Structure 1
Amino acid sequence: MKYDNARPPMAVILAAGIGTRLSPLTDKTAKSLLSVGGSVVMERIIRNCLSCGMSQFVVVLGHRADELKQFIDKTFRGIRVTYVMNDRYRDTNTGYSLMLASPTVGTADFIKIDADVVFETRVMRALIDSDLPNILCTDRNIELTDEEVKVIADDKMRVSEIGKTVDPASALGATIGIEKISAVTGPLLFAELKELMESPANAQAHYEAAYARLVSKGIPFHALDITGMKWTEIDTPEDFAAANAMFGTPITTVSRGQQRALDEADTNPQRRL
């Protein structure tokens, strides 16, 4: 593992959104405080990061910020969390929220995670283990509609196009809302976001718009194929039901050795007898 003897990347979790499409489930709670399989979504995200040795967190808050902060502080005593407030969460989107994390992140490697994505630890381990600098977790086995952020990549998985308007017929797959950004690329990314947000017309832009601008300037981004690993985005009540069907048990922090044993058991039926 690349980060066994070096500082793991920082986790930047975007949790400012209202989650209106999940109503009535989110009428009285934040989307990332919904419980999936007996564990709150935010807890699943943070425990997956802790299982991979990550210990520094930046959480961008907005809607029901106090409730989220109280939950994290109570559930995870002793971890390093910096809270960043998006006071404009009602009229901005993920691009603005990520831009606000810039002063806290500085020039550190970081992994950006959307707070409405539920995923298994293997996804995070695969991302951290890769030596490539800028990586977009990508699933090939997903229906490519206008809603999905699609990527086109070459045979070496280098991304040439990213966005919702990418032609599905040419796309490798769709991104899942989890990316790794290098210490070199981070400042360039934040500069692109700042420039985008200078125009009021871009207030609702997603962070992928800045990724696309960097790709067009020759900054290398690669797709990481996580097809077959368990993950799901929660945008609608139907998504919420699917998440609970996929993740049926509470999450625990799992060491690398424990994960290896679980993976071996999954691939060797005799070991499960």
Structure 2
Amino acid sequence: MKAVILAAGKGSRIADVAVETPKSLLPLGDTTLLGQSLGHFKAHGVTELVIVTGYKRDMVADYTRQHWDGALEVVYNPHFERTNVLYSFWLAMPYLGDDDFLFLHADTVFSDEVIARVVAHPSSAQMVFAVDDHPCEEEEMKVLTKSNLVTDVNKQMEPSTCNGEFLGLARVSGEQTKGLRRHAERLFEEGAMQSFFEMAVQRMIDEDGLQVEVCDVTGLSWREVDFPEDYEAARGFFG
């Protein structure tokens, strides 16, 4: 299996903690945020990795080469300061081919059981989102679901109406890559260079009938590290 990790962002909201360290390389127990995810991927059958770098590109690339012994492609996003996750993902697409892959934001850390559930989800799924059904706040990537399918995913929806949060960990059928590319490029043509990955997914749901299945990870340990308090919580979970 392949995986893509998006690790281009500067992490300005946690700069007081990270200082000159890329957020993905912050210590976590005896490893780092990125290192923990690399270990999980190895343990669950990922043999080919694409990682997109940006801020402190050499530090992230060197660390990944030292801690990943499978096939590796390191892709640089030279526009990381004025683009977002979707553009980084678009840069990675040529290296994914038509293969199924795991998708991950580098600042999301999670327990082994989280990825085990995602990998074990029926292979017939077009796309699988790891979702935690918990009360959400404004900043979180919220989802609405119906019959175990994601119908809406964005940060703008009213928190009280959502059915949980998307972790930033997904499994994607290789058959969906062309659609993701098409919708990403349309968003860029519209000038939406700051688009999230989820914006392309939403358009596929609305326009193409994409079915995004929910992998329920409610109650399992995980954290998206955006702010210093998130980092402290992650350290509480994982050392």
For Structure 1 versus Structure 2, the TM-score category normalised by the shorter chain is over 0.9
Quick one: percent identity of the two aligned structures? 29
How much has 1:79 moved relative to structure 2? Answer: 1.3
SS of equivalent residue, structure 1 residue 184: helix
Match of 1:51 among 33, 43, 57: 43
Asked which structure has the greater CA Rg, the reply is 1
TM-score (norm 2): 0.95
- Confirm or deny that 1:205 pairs with 2:205: no
Question: What whole-Å deviation, never above 9, does each CA across 1:195-241 have from its counterpart, x for those lacking one?
Answer: 111233x1111111111101112111112110011100111111111
The equivalent of 2:100 in structure 1 is 109
How much has 1:169 moved relative to structure 2? Answer: 3.2
Matched to 2:76, the amino acid is: M
How much has 1:170 moved relative to structure 2? Answer: 3.1
For residues 65-84 of structure 1, the aligned pairs below 5 Å read: 65-76=57-68, 78-84=69-75
The equivalent of 2:133 in structure 1 is 140
The equivalent of 2:205 in structure 1 is 215
Match of 1:168 among 153, 159, 165: 159
The equivalent of 1:187 in structure 2 is 178
Matched to 1:211, the amino acid is: V
SS of equivalent residue, structure 1 residue 235: coil
The equivalent of 1:11 in structure 2 is 3
How much has 1:166 moved relative to structure 2? Answer: 2.4
Matched to 2:194, the amino acid is: Q
Query: How far apart are the structure 2 equivalents of 1:51 and 1:230?
Result: 18
How much has 1:27 moved relative to structure 2? Answer: 2.2
The equivalent of 2:13 in structure 1 is 21
Matched to 1:84, the amino acid is: V
Question: What whole-Å deviation, never above 9, does each CA across 1:218-265 have from its counterpart, x for those lacking one?
Answer: 1111121100111001111111111111112xxxxxxxxxxxxxxxxx
Matched to 1:163, the amino acid is: N
Size of the alignment, in residue pairs? Answer: 236
Say if 2:38 and 2:67, in contact at 8 Å, map to a contact too: no
Query: How far apart are the structure 2 equivalents of 1:204 and 1:86?
Result: 13
Say if 1:16 and 1:60, in contact at 8 Å, map to a contact too: yes
- Confirm or deny that 1:232 pairs with 2:232: no
Query: How far apart are the structure 2 equivalents of 1:62 and 1:185?
Result: 25
SS of equivalent residue, structure 1 residue 88: coil
TM-score (norm 1): 0.83
SS of equivalent residue, structure 1 residue 82: strand
Query: How far apart are the structure 1 equivalents of 2:106 and 2:218?
Result: 20
SS of equivalent residue, structure 2 residue 203: helix
Say if 2:99 and 2:174, in contact at 8 Å, map to a contact too: yes
Comparing 144-153 with 230-239, greater Cα deviation is found at: 144-153
CA RMSD of aligned residues (A): 1.2
Following TM superposition, the consecutive aligned residue runs of length 4 or more in structure 1 with deviations greater than 6 angstroms are none
Matched to 2:218, the amino acid is: T
Query: How far apart are the structure 2 equivalents of 1:233 and 1:225?
Result: 16
Q: Which runs of 5+ in 1 are unaligned?
A: 1-7, 249-273
- Confirm or deny that 1:158 pairs with 2:157: no
